[in-house]
Amino acid sequence: RDRSPSRGLGDVYKRQLVSKTDNEDGTHTFHWRENFPMVSYLISFAVGEYVQIDDKYKLLKPGKRILELGSYPGGWSQVINERVFLKNRNSRTSVLAIDIKKMDSVGSIFFMEVSFLSKRFNNILNQTYKENFDLILSDMAPNTMGHKQTDHLRIITLCEQVLDFSAKKLNKKGSLILKFFRGAEDKDMISLAMSIFLSAKQYKPKASNSDSSEMYLICSCLLYTSPSPRDGLLSRMPSS
């Protein structure tokens, strides 16, 4: 039962309205039916965005090897758990989630507290996760410094590093979902994505704040195994 208005995160999850009751105090009670198993809480408000992305591109499927970069607080993990593990009990899906912030475990997803850019993470991949991934999800963003231009360059540079990494660690037909923020430098990053992937599409979910510059880049099918060397954006950052 739900005393909230009929629009909201329920629309994101595509739940069905079964009945509506008018109460004596002027409120209304809504009875909903969910289309798939889900927990009764949201780990992150970004879950709505992730659900809309998967509804459109349908990249979360059983049997895939998935890597989450910047997984805290666990939004993507929750969506994967509900849409893959809970719907497919015998799924051979493998999910590794990493972040520099400790995250509570979600279902069958394995979490490691490690930096994406660290030698330790590289060693973990080389020793334990030798096979390439089918899907990489990146929700990372560096800490802001308070200088708008510098902060944007840092974000785009991190996105470029994820693209370089994905070119090496994705399967030929693999996919990448990369969150970025629009700004003066995003054209270079998008051009890099288009040089690596057969398809690189920009997408802004309806659940995303319309006032935010937040966007997602949905990339699929590698053109070749790794991008050609290029100068990073950090070389163009203003000195402090």
In percent, how much of the chain has pLDDT > 90?
Answer: 62
Q: Is residue 50 over pLDDT 90?
A: yes
What is the secondary structure of 40-66 as a DSSP string?
Answer: SS-S-TTHHHHHHHHHHH----TT-EE
Mean pLDDT of the chain: 84
More confident residue, 38 or 224: 224
182, 204 Cβ separation under 8 angstroms: no
114, 120 Cβ separation under 8 angstroms: yes
207 vs 79: CA distance, rounded Å: 15
* Structure confidence at residue 142 (pLDDT): 87
77, 71 Cβ separation under 8 angstroms: yes
More confident residue, 26 or 127: 127
* Structure confidence at residue 174 (pLDDT): 97
* Structure confidence at residue 27 (pLDDT): 78
In percent, how much of the chain has pLDDT > 70?
Answer: 80
Active-site residue 179, yes or no? yes
Q: Which long-range contacts (CB under 8 A, 24 or more apart) does 230-239 make?
A: 230/192, 232/157, 232/160, 232/161, 233/153, 233/156, 233/157, 233/160, 233/185, 233/188, 233/189, 234/153, 234/154, 234/157, 236/153, 237/149, 237/150, 237/153, 237/154, 238/147, 238/149, 238/150
Which of 42, 113, 107, 102 is closest to 80 using CA atoms?
107
Helix or strand holding residue 77 (H, E) = helix 75-80
pTM of the model: 0.77
- Write the pLDDT tens digit of every residue in 131-189: 999 999 999 988 888 888 899 999 999 999 999 999 999 999 999 999 999 998 899 99
* Structure confidence at residue 43 (pLDDT): 54
Please identify which of the residues 179, 201, 204, 206 carries the catalytic annotation. 179
> Across residues 87-103, what is the average pLDDT?
91
> Across residues 194-215, what is the average pLDDT?
94
Q: Is residue 104 over pLDDT 70?
A: yes
Tokens 């889900």 correspond to what residue?
38
36 vs 55: CA distance, rounded Å: 13
Q: Is residue 13 over pLDDT 70?
A: no
Q: Is residue 35 over pLDDT 90?
A: no
